[in-house]
Chain A
Amino acid sequence: MEGPKPPKPKEEGLPEIRFPKFIEEITEKINLTKFFVVLTELMKKFPTINFGEALYKLTEAFKNKKGLLEEASDIIDQIHLLYFKFKLGIEEISTILKERIIKFLKEANIDFERGEIKPEVAIFFLGLLILVALVVGFGNFGIGQVHKLKELEEAFKRILEK
């Protein structure tokens, strides 16, 4: 994964950016390493998707619905198994998980692609899961899922490189 470009010299005439101080405090407790890198890559890959909204809805869904969280954990397990153990491609994985992913997205009120699960959507979904897990997952996910985050991140990087 190429990652975002390094900071450029400030464009002339632009105001200084005020970076929020709360991010520093949050990073003392939550691991945000790679969060913005993964988000930047996803936004480049899927420029028409409203990531703010999708992330927000997924985060809320993870936070408030116990059943949904379990479902998400289970889907992560399944993606992990299919990708690493059975070495399936993302296209095959998306076909296998189609129904579950549609159901999950509907429960999280995310209605994009009109129910059509394309490989791109599966990648998008995998990326979002990584992001959400990085931010809110450590308190909620089972230990098994937390250990898998690094591998999922690796899988995601490889998918983006294709």
Chain B
Amino acid sequence: MNPQKELEMFLNELLENIPPEKRSNFIEDFNKLSEEYDKRFKEEIKSEEWGTFLIRFLNDVLEFYNKYKYSKRSNN
């Protein structure tokens, strides 16, 4: 299985742990980060830093994942 597919499954797992009403926000935040990292990747990254770059991306994703995961469910 290719890493893109694996990443998709990984994101599905994250989404399952997020309250349904927060899932859209999570995807929107993820998409913003995805765009930002693609831009930075072209501008500033040398090939020897690729591994660290990926981990930074994951760290940012998991940071807002934790925020949504533990956010209180809305009452509506």
Contact = CB atoms under 8 A, between A and B. Distances in A.
Contacts of A13: 24
A53 interface: yes
Contacts of B65: 52
A59 B5 CA distance: 24
A27 B41 CA distance: 13
Given A7-B9, A59-B52, A21 B38 contact: yes
Interface residues of A, number: 46
A136 B57 CA distance: 14
B3 A33 contact: yes
A32 B27 CA distance: 23
Contacts of B62: 50-53
A23 B24 CA distance: 22
A103 B67 CA distance: 30
A96 interface: no
Contacts of A40: 9-10, 13
B24 A7 contact: no
Contacts of A50: 62, 66
Contacts of A34: 6
Nearest to B35: A18
B9 A25 contact: no
Given A4-B12, A17-B27, A25-B41, A60 B52 contact: yes
Interface string A58-87: 011001000000000000000000000000
Interface of A: 3-8, 11, 13-27, 29-30, 32-37, 39-40, 43-44, 50-53, 55-56, 59-60, 63, 135-136, 139
